[in-house]
Amino acid sequence: MPPKKALVIALSGCSSSGKTTLARLLRDIFPNTFILHEDDFYRPEAKLPIKNGLVDWDCPESIDIPAMADALSYIRENASFPPTLDSKEDQNSVGPCPIPPSLTTTLKSKVLSSLPPTHPLFLLLSNEPNQTPPPLRICILDGFLLYTPAMSPIQPHLDLKIFLRASYAKAKARREARDGYVTLEGFWADPPGYVDKIVWPNYVESHAWLFEDGDVEGKFKRDVLEREGIRVPEGEPLDGDMEATLTWIVDLLLEELRKYA
């Protein structure tokens, strides 16, 4: 097989756990990086399931999983979006960034100094033809359901799997503070009670298998994490400090990139 042209770094976890904020920061810190959002594969609203009398955007059935698997395959081979993909997720607001610009600058300098200038990640910055090794890009895949059993078709396309979590209280507060989301049809705002009727129950149902006694606010099953190759922040914090989490992910990604030095 030809060498892949893009590494796919999956960033998954509870809704409002900071995935999109971290993905955007990583895009700024690492050169030649772009973001693919699970939300870009929502089915049309008319085809979404109904749960507790509400449209359910937070279940595997709401996602066109085969289309996402095809897009990831294309990205690994071409290091760019498929021409048919129209990403809307970057139009959504996630609120003020909690990370000081000074940390972003420090981490960006760390990346530049940690990898040699001949690393494939930097080769796209030059104009030399027929480079060996070939240039390499990073694709950050941001999504709330990336490791559930229903997502098995996308697993072969993931090079690094990171899972973030949040307590019910923090997830509910963050989610309900959002204005809404850009969709194929226009715009969606959570109706009253959506977190308690849809978001949190679906999160528990889809991720209980990762935790002891199915308690998503408790301890991870370490053997399951190892078997699935899922990485979690050091200390397994429930509501982790965003600065510490970002620094940890940067170090983790540098570790992965050194394999391609």
The residues annotated with a catalytic role in the active site are 39
DSSP 35-63: EEEGGGGBPPGGGS-EETTEE--SSGGGB
Please tell me the distance from the alpha carbon of residue 51 to that of residue 62, in angstroms, as a whole number. 12
